[in-house]
Amino acid sequence: MATELHNLSDYDATKAPSGKGKKIGIVYAEWNSEITYALRDGAIETLLANGVEKEDIALASVPGSFELIYGASQMVKSNKYDSVIAIGCVIRGDTPHFDYICEGVTQGLSQLNILYNTPVIFGLITTNNLLQAQERSGGRLGNKGDECAVTALHMMAQDW
Ligand code: RBF
C-alpha cells in the first residue's frame, strides 16, 4: 500500500501562539541553498505572520549542515534568543556520508536541547533526491520552514 503523503504545513495560524516580543535566531546552511533559502524564508514569513518583529529575527549562515551544530550552539550560548531554528538540507549521495552528517547534526542539536535552556528546532531535511527536497520546501508537500516556525512559537509560549 502506498504511503499517503501529507502536507503538514497546512496549519491554522490562529492556533499558533503569538510570537510578539520573542527573539529568534535562524541558522541555515549554504549547501543546497535553493532548498535552504526557501526553508529559511518560509520560517521568517510564518514568524512575521504570527507577531514576531523583523528586527527580532537574527540570521546566520554556515557552509554546510554539519556546521549547524556550531552555529546553533553559539546562538544558544549567547542567551540572546528565545528559540533557535537550524535549517539544512542533506541529500543522499552515493557514499555513506549522508548518514554521518544526518547522525552528527541530529545528535549535536539534540545535545543543545538537553544542555541549555533555549529550544533548538530541528529544521534539517534529509531526502533521497532533490525533488523530495523541493516538494518539502515550498512544493506540493508544503514548507518545512513554516513548520519549524510554528514549532518555535509553541516552544516559546510554554511556561517551562
Ligand atoms: N552539507 C549539507 O548541508 N548537505 C549535503 O547534502 C552535504 N553533502 C555532503 C557530501 C559530502 C561528500 C561532503 C564531504 C560534505 C557534504 N556536506 C553537505 C557538507 C557538510 O555538511 C560540511 O559542511 C562539511 O563536511 C565540512 O564540515
pLDDT in tens, 107-155: 999 999 999 999 999 999 999 999 999 999 999 999 999 999 999 999 9
Q: Which atom of ligand 1 is nearest to the CA of 36?
A: 3
**Residue 68 alpha carbon, nearest atom of ligand 1:** 21
Give residue 112's Cα distance to chain centre.
Answer: 14
State the pLDDT confidence band at 68, using cuts at 50, 70 and 90: very high
Query: Stretch 13-32: mean pLDDT, rounded?
Result: 93
Model confidence over 41-67: pLDDT tens digits?
999 999 999 999 999 999 999 999 999
| Cα gap 127→88, rounded to integer Å | 11
Model pTM score: 0.94
Query: Between β-strands 57-62 and 83-91, what pairing exists: parallel, antiparallel or unpaired?
Result: unpaired
Cβ–ligand 1 contact at 31 (below 6 Å):
yes
Cα 35 off chain centre by: 12
Residues identified as active-site: 97
Burial of 87 (0-12, 13-18, 19+ CB in 10 A): buried
